[in-house]
Homo-oligomer: A and B are copies of this chain.
């Protein structure tokens, strides 16, 4: 069911410093910051040859990243995203297996303009998993 690893998302306390570290010290291809007001984040994409790293920084007081950075002031890996071909079929299979889908259970449009869902970390080895329909 799952396909490619679309991205690994890392919440960071200083977006400019983290971007500079990936660009200068690690020599990676780092994009410009993009505000995603619908998701409460500013995102910087790092393009690796086979996948992406997403640096996440809070945008607004209601950002879902605020609580994460309070618990992890140095930052940390926030979620991983797997691609699926049919997000509703994936959701229904996961729900049948007992896994909890976060929020309303209906896909939202994610940062890449594609339908996404998040799965409960307690059902996936403490890992917040995003599914993105491609």
* Stretch from A31-39, A58-66, A71-79, A102-110 at the B interface: A71-79
Q: Cβ of B125 and Cβ of A5 under 8 Å apart? A: no
- Could you tell me how many residues of chain A have their Cβ less than 8 Å away from some Cβ of chain B? 40
- Name which residue of chain B comes closest to A125, CB basis: B75
Q: How far is the CB of A93 from chain B (nearest CB, A)?
A: 7
The residues in A between 56 and 97 inclusive whose CB is less than 8 angstroms from any CB of B are 72, 74-77, 80, 82, 93-94, 97
Q: Main secondary structure on chain A at its contact with chain B?
A: loop
Copies in the complex: 2
Report whether B82 and A3 are in contact in the complex, using a CB–CB cutoff of 8 Å: no
> Is there an interface contact between B127 and A76, defined as CB atoms closer than 8 Å?
yes
A51 to B4, alpha carbons, bound, how many Å? 7
Given A1-B25, A3-B48, A50-B51, 11 other A-B residues pairs in contact with their CB atoms under 8 A = A1-B28, A2-B48, A4-B49, A5-B5, A5-B48, A5-B51, A8-B80, A21-B125, A48-B82, A55-B125, A75-B125
Give 19 pairs: A residue, B residue, CB < 8 Å, sorted on A: A1-B26, A3-B49, A4-B50, A5-B5, A5-B51, A10-B127, A12-B125, A13-B125, A18-B125, A21-B125, A25-B97, A25-B99, A26-B82, A55-B125, A74-B122, A74-B125, A76-B127, A77-B77, A77-B127
